[in-house]
Amino acid sequence: MKNKLEKVVLVYQAGLANVFEVDCFNFAPSGRTEKRLLQADFRTCEAFCRGLAAADVSVASAACNVAGDVARQKWSGELEAQPFSDKFRPVFNKVRADIYIGFLNPDVMTDFPTPERS
């Protein structure tokens, strides 16, 4: 039994958000083994994830715009295409946002190798 959270994903879902502990950062449910830690409004989940990031947990953000439980659904990294995205304040820690969501931003904090660091 592990005692420390290692990876979490903040998943936006229409007007609410979820925080899941995951084994890996997959958009598809296979191999993710997600466990919901919290479901609440955007700001509550974002604050929770910022606290986890401060505790050195790897944090990524995604979205899933389907009705019902999103735990076993396919998630998306296209945050700007989601409803209410102007209200999102995504959290990333120790995960390159540009790789995770497809943006090109070399200033994002990373623990993945980059051409300069490999």
Q: What is the pLDDT along the chain (118 residues), one digit of tens a residue?
A: 566 899 999 999 999 999 999 998 888 888 889 999 999 999 999 999 999 999 999 999 999 999 999 999 999 888 888 989 899 999 999 886 655 554 333 343 334 333 343 3
Q: What's the pTM?
A: 0.80
In which element (H, E) is residue 60 found? strand 58-63
| Dist. CA 99–CA 114, nearest whole Å | 11
Contacts of residue 46, defined as CB under 8 A and 6 or more positions apart, other chains included, come to: 10, 17, 89, 90, 91
